[in-house]
Structure 1
Amino acid sequence: MHYAKPYQKRFNWVIVWAILLSIFAAARPYLLKQTVDEYIKPEDENGLLLYVVLMAVVLLLEVLAQFYFTYWANWLGQDIIKDIRDKLFHHITSFKMKYFDNEPVGKLVTRSVSDIESIASIFSQGLFMIVSDVLKMVVILGIMFFMNWKLSLIVLAAMPVLIYATDVFQKKMKVAFNEVRNEVANLNTFVQERLTGMKIVQLFNREAIELEKFKEINQKHNVAWLKNILYNSIFFPIADIVSSLTLGAIVYYAGISIINGDTLTTVGDLFAYTMLINMLFNPLRQIADKFNVMQMGIIAADRVFEILEKEENVQDNGTVEATHFKGFIQLKDVRFSYIKNEEVLKGINLEVQPGETIAIVGSTGAGKSTIINLLNRFYEINSGEITIDNRNINDYTLESLRKQIAIVLQDVFLFADTIYNNITLHNEAITREDVITAAKKIGVHDFIMSLPEGYDYNVKERGVMLSSGQRQLIAFLRAYVSNPSILILDEATSSIDTHSEELIQKATETITKDRTSIVIAHRLATVINASKIIVMDKGQIVEFGKHSELVNKPNGYYKKLYDSQFAVEVE
């Protein structure tokens, strides 16, 4: 309801149309009673025509009220979920990387798309429809007691049975809907992961195994929905039976009363009550159905607001705008763990001078990539301090900090968009001329122009239309055009062709020139050209120095690494 406040005027109009709809709906049976008693029975043709026209006008007004009520309620619901979806996406994009480490992507997709659509139904098919139906029932009961209190008591006697059945139905449906939403999220997560990793599925002949897993999850989804169907199959026939028995009781009692000359009960009452019972019980029957819709919307809202209420975002309390860094980086006794009590970095002390290029080497899991993550504040350190230009990185605003640091990751991610948009990321400050000039400087312009549409070539999802080396080159260009103060490279050239490797080597030399650079080195050439080499092992810096110094240390960590990893390149 908080999200409905900006649309208060529209919200009020929906309530107005709901009230008018209930009045017009209840007026028709009363007019029918008057028509039968006052004009059909006395055989007054003129009066009959007048009332038939009057009923037609009321029906037309009811149709108009129904149209405006339905349209405005849906319009309000769609605008509200648009606002919630915007807020949810903005909230998710501000989360720490740790959150995405633990949460399946398919679950977040479900929350952002189908769950939010379910929230719209609270307004379009749930809340307002229930309000409208309740108003209609109140007005109809008022009309009934005004017309004939004896017949009304018969109707009233049947209602507790239907209300009790509705209550039991609601409780069962709440549990069933919860199961459905859980299984939908599981299904989305499974499908999203398998489609993303389809190459692995087919490469290792996992099609049959994954199909069996999918069938198992799909079966659970099917069972959850079958419970829903079962409860509906039980409730609605019960509601129909109660309605029909009540109608039968009214016809019998009214018939006996008319035959015995009871002046309180008329033929018009019998006609009117035939309509009124349906109009009274149908909303009650439909309220149960609309409660189902609203129940699903509420469960979906709980899940969405659970994410919106999470305080997983990186704390951006910095007040200093970083316009340009000289590039003096210091890590002072930095300790960090992804999992509590399992330290990945164990008291790291490191200095990088302005304009210096350092290479970080070490075995897998040594903590090399973790340093990169901490510099960009993707994660928060446990203790210690990280400074850039003698100021704690927490003092800088998060946006300005990340704007001054560019990263080329080992696993390059490209969006399903043009090469130009993947380079600029829709930053209007970067022109096409800037991109072309930068591409020529680092030697990738010719490669881009060799593609069918040049810079407007669509690389499709995750850049599948390009080789790994070509994706890497696009990532280098993306980093270069952002003109960062500090550059971080996670080189990944071990599995690419020689031509791409030469281009990447040239690109590396160009973009690291006169710029503070940190390179996680996988190739010997990068290590040799670095100003300083940092050797890491099990979350600690075990050696540092130049290549010529470290390679000559007997039994040194770097010496062993060189012999096992880099010596092959020399040969």
Structure 2
Amino acid sequence: MPYSLREDEKLEEKISIDILRRLFRYLKPYKKEILIVLFFIFVVMTVDLANPYLMKIAIDRFIKNKDPKGLITVGFIVLLLNLISALCAKKRTERIAKITHRIILNIRQDLFNHVQKLSFAFFDERPVGKILARIIGDVNSLTNLFNMSVTNLIPDTFTIIATATIMFYLNAKLASYGLLMFPFLLITLFSIQTISRRRWQLVRKKNSTLNAFTHENYSGIRIIKYFNAENYRKNIFTELAWDVRQAFVRAVRINDLFWPMVEFSWGVGSIITFYFGIKMIKSGSITVGLLIAFSNYIAMFWRPIMNLSNFYNNLVTSMASAERIFEIMDINPNIVEDEEAVELDIKGEVEFKNVSFSYDGKKKVLEKVSFKVYPGERIALVGHTGAGKTTIVNLICRFYDPDEGEILIDGVDIRKIKLESLRRQLAVMFQDTFLFSGSIMENIRYGRLSASDEEVINTAREVYAHDFVVSLEKGYDTRVQERGLRLSTGQRQLVSLARTLIANPKILILDEATASIDTHTERLLQKGIEKLLQGRTSFIIAHRLSTIQNADRIFVIENGKIVEEGNHEELMKKRGIYYNMFISQFKLWSEEKEIVS
């Protein structure tokens, strides 16, 4: 079911451990680097653990016995160890930052590549903004997770275990007092985990919806301004932004419980330790140095707990993003290349055998369509909007597979042809021409990336685009914005025509390529198209029937079926649907001409 801009995506609930396992697979290529980081972490952790014990020695042995030389020696050892620790901490931070950013790059690249492989059906169901939110926002949110998983999770876990072990080794009874609040904290943290995870999922969904709306808004800014709809769109944006804010506040309220609970447990544990510790000093069970060392070890025990709670918060937040990323990566393309698919040097014969197709699995757009087109033939597809014209060419390009029947090219089932081989020899020129940000030279070269500058220029000359290109300030190096907005509609179509010709396709599809342009440019475009059509099998979708009178055959499509077939003269003699459409357009054209004159 398609997602609207205002509708949040539905995500399946997945086991967190499975998602974590998938995430941490990205760490495998960096085992050596991670081992080096862990070595630096081990050094820092060892020094931190040694500091309180060295303090105990300094107090109980050297201060108590008034031994300044021993005290200076311990001080020098502490200084040296902490300098080494600081250096290792710096190296650890540098290396983990490099590893994390490489991993994020790999995840983003994998997601981008996977999305490019997905079928048109995937893009039909989702606004572009929501896809961008996955590739940019959700992937970025994983940065802290990978960073903290190495720098916090592993060392802090070992620090907690090592600190507890040392405390029980020094005095089991005092250690029990110090850690009395630990079970209470664990129960509290786990009890709020589920709520926190769901709330952060909702934050990511609301952000995605806002991102999709913003993308659509600025893509259609001209329409918004034409119809004076700024206030209407502003109100929608405000509503969506408020939804994000509300979801974030609810998530943060849960997150804010973590640190206070840790600090409360730490504080109560410290009070209990000092209360019983002072009694034990008076009874001679422990020394002052041991109690001071214990106070430091208690801090060392609870500080990693705080770090781990912060990591846990980040984990909960990141899990929502990870679920959204893997939800996309788990989608399989509808169009899959057969294992036995072959390269095919296309001659241009196209045949439909009882082809039926539906976009939604319910309403048939094509039903039992059959025809055969011979190499070099010009076929025009005409019919009312929604009749099935564009669907036919989408199936030829194998953007979708038919529900029933076969599509053959040169007698080979289209599903048995390698996708790259098929699409390399097809070219489509749309009415709504899309140009990429970059130079005109680069946009023409998209038709064949290996083309030289000279080939690009010669191709532009062949389709009468060269004159307008060289008249621009920087000629072929002129930069165009996204969708080519700096060029007129006719100029964009001439660039598109050059891009199509340089691809040297065997099968050509023109979707009303001469619409919405001035008469002079249309004449140039028609001459260029005539050049392009020579010797190629072509399918021309036309709404203006005057442009297809020279077609070898015309297919009239109604309700997903070919109801009439023949050339212009044959169909006019039949006085059927085509005849009525042509006469209707001719009358309308005559009336418009009369009004103008």
- Fold shared, TM-score > 0.5 on shorter chain: yes
% identity of equivalent residues: 36
**Match of 2:83?**
60
User: Residue 455 in 1 paired to residue 472 in 2?
Assistant: no
Structure 2 counterpart SS, 1:552: helix
How far apart are 1:362 and its partner, in Å? 0.9
**Match of 1:187?**
210
**Match of 1:142?**
165
**Residue pair 2:447, 2:503 contacting (<8 A) in 1 also:** no
**Match of 2:354?**
333
**Residue pair 2:358, 2:403 contacting (<8 A) in 1 also:** yes
5+ long unaligned stretches in structure 2: 1-23
**Residue pair 1:359, 1:527 contacting (<8 A) in 2 also:** yes
Structure 2 CA distance for partners of 1:29 and 1:525, relative to 1, 3 Å: same
Letter in 2 for 1:369: T
- C-alpha distance in 2, partners of 1:480/1:318? 31
How far apart are 1:94 and its partner, in Å? 1.2
Paired residues for 1:189-208 under 5 Å: 189-208=212-231
Q: Deviations over 1:226-275 (max 9, x none)?
A: 122222333322322322222223233323333x251x321212322222
**Match of 1:51?**
74
**Residue pair 2:179, 2:269 contacting (<8 A) in 1 also:** no
How far apart are 1:341 and its partner, in Å? 2.3
What is the root-mean-square deviation in Å for CA atoms of aligned residues? Answer: 1.9
5+ long unaligned stretches in structure 1: none
**Alignment counterpart, residue 526 of structure 2, candidates 487, 505, 524:** 505
Structure 2 counterpart SS, 1:561: helix
TM-score, scaled relative to structure 2: 0.91
Structure 2 counterpart SS, 1:470: helix
Paired residues for 1:162-561 under 5 Å: 162-258=185-281, 260-262=282-284, 264-317=285-338, 319=340, 321-322=342-343, 324-425=345-446, 427-554=448-575, 556-561=576-581
Return 44-53 or 202-211, whichever deviates more.
202-211
User: Residue 564 in 1 paired to residue 584 in 2?
Assistant: yes
Structure 2 CA distance for partners of 1:312 and 1:293, relative to 1, 3 Å: same
**Match of 2:103?**
80
How far apart are 1:369 and its partner, in Å? 0.6
Q: Deviations over 1:454-480 (max 9, x none)?
A: 111111111111122211111111110
How far apart are 1:569 and its partner, in Å? 4.1
Return 313-322 or 343-352, whichever deviates more.
313-322
Letter in 1 for 2:319: I
- C-alpha distance in 1, partners of 2:170/2:45? 17
Structure 2 CA distance for partners of 1:92 and 1:190, relative to 1, 3 Å: same
Paired residues for 1:1-12 under 5 Å: 1-12=24-35
- C-alpha distance in 2, partners of 1:521/1:535? 11
Structure 2 CA distance for partners of 1:9 and 1:126, relative to 1, 3 Å: closer
How far apart are 1:323 and its partner, in Å? 5.2
- C-alpha distance in 2, partners of 1:18/1:225? 34
Return 104-113 or 6-15, whichever deviates more.
6-15
How many positions carry a matched residue from both structures?
568
Structure 2 CA distance for partners of 1:561 and 1:115, relative to 1, 3 Å: same
Return 330-339 or 426-435, whichever deviates more.
426-435
**Residue pair 2:469, 2:475 contacting (<8 A) in 1 also:** yes
How far apart are 1:484 and its partner, in Å? 0.8
How far apart are 1:321 and its partner, in Å? 4.6
**Match of 2:46?**
23
Structure 2 CA distance for partners of 1:78 and 1:426, relative to 1, 3 Å: farther
Structure 2 counterpart SS, 1:344: strand
Letter in 2 for 1:511: L
Structure 2 CA distance for partners of 1:567 and 1:354, relative to 1, 3 Å: farther
- C-alpha distance in 2, partners of 1:293/1:395? 47
**Residue pair 1:94, 1:313 contacting (<8 A) in 2 also:** no
- C-alpha distance in 2, partners of 1:101/1:341? 16
- C-alpha distance in 2, partners of 1:13/1:168? 36
- C-alpha distance in 1, partners of 2:94/2:232? 48
- C-alpha distance in 2, partners of 1:498/1:96? 37
How far apart are 1:566 and its partner, in Å? 4.2
Letter in 2 for 1:512: L
**Residue pair 1:27, 1:58 contacting (<8 A) in 2 also:** no
Q: Deviations over 1:209-241 (max 9, x none)?
A: 111111111111111111222223333223223
- C-alpha distance in 2, partners of 1:144/1:534? 87
Structure 2 CA distance for partners of 1:232 and 1:304, relative to 1, 3 Å: closer
How far apart are 1:450 and its partner, in Å? 1.3
- C-alpha distance in 1, partners of 2:93/2:301? 20
How far apart are 1:283 and its partner, in Å? 1.1
How far apart are 1:86 and its partner, in Å? 1.8
- C-alpha distance in 2, partners of 1:270/1:127? 32
How far apart are 1:165 and its partner, in Å? 2.6
Structure 2 CA distance for partners of 1:117 and 1:71, relative to 1, 3 Å: same
**Residue pair 1:30, 1:143 contacting (<8 A) in 2 also:** no
How far apart are 1:381 and its partner, in Å? 0.3
**Residue pair 1:338, 1:344 contacting (<8 A) in 2 also:** yes
- C-alpha distance in 1, partners of 2:506/2:406? 20
- C-alpha distance in 2, partners of 1:421/1:45? 77
**Residue pair 1:91, 1:313 contacting (<8 A) in 2 also:** no
Return 364-373 or 466-475, whichever deviates more.
466-475
Structure 2 CA distance for partners of 1:157 and 1:193, relative to 1, 3 Å: same
Letter in 2 for 1:147: L
Structure 1 counterpart SS, 2:141: helix
Structure 2 CA distance for partners of 1:550 and 1:426, relative to 1, 3 Å: closer
Q: Deviations over 1:45-70 (max 9, x none)?
A: 11111111111122223223333333
Q: Deviations over 1:512-543 (max 9, x none)?
A: 01211111123344311211111111111111
Structure 1 counterpart SS, 2:118: coil
Q: Deviations over 1:481-521 (max 9, x none)?
A: 01111111012433222222112111111100121111112
- C-alpha distance in 1, partners of 2:81/2:503? 67
- C-alpha distance in 2, partners of 1:189/1:514? 44
- C-alpha distance in 2, partners of 1:522/1:318? 40
**Residue pair 1:407, 1:489 contacting (<8 A) in 2 also:** yes
**Match of 2:183?**
160
Letter in 2 for 1:197: G
Return 423-432 or 222-231, whichever deviates more.
423-432
**Alignment counterpart, residue 70 of structure 1, candidates 86, 93, 100:** 93
- C-alpha distance in 1, partners of 2:88/2:187? 31
Structure 1 counterpart SS, 2:563: strand
Letter in 1 for 2:96: A
Return 359-368 or 313-322, whichever deviates more.
313-322
How far apart are 1:397 and its partner, in Å? 0.4
How far apart are 1:291 and its partner, in Å? 0.7
How far apart are 1:131 and its partner, in Å? 1.8
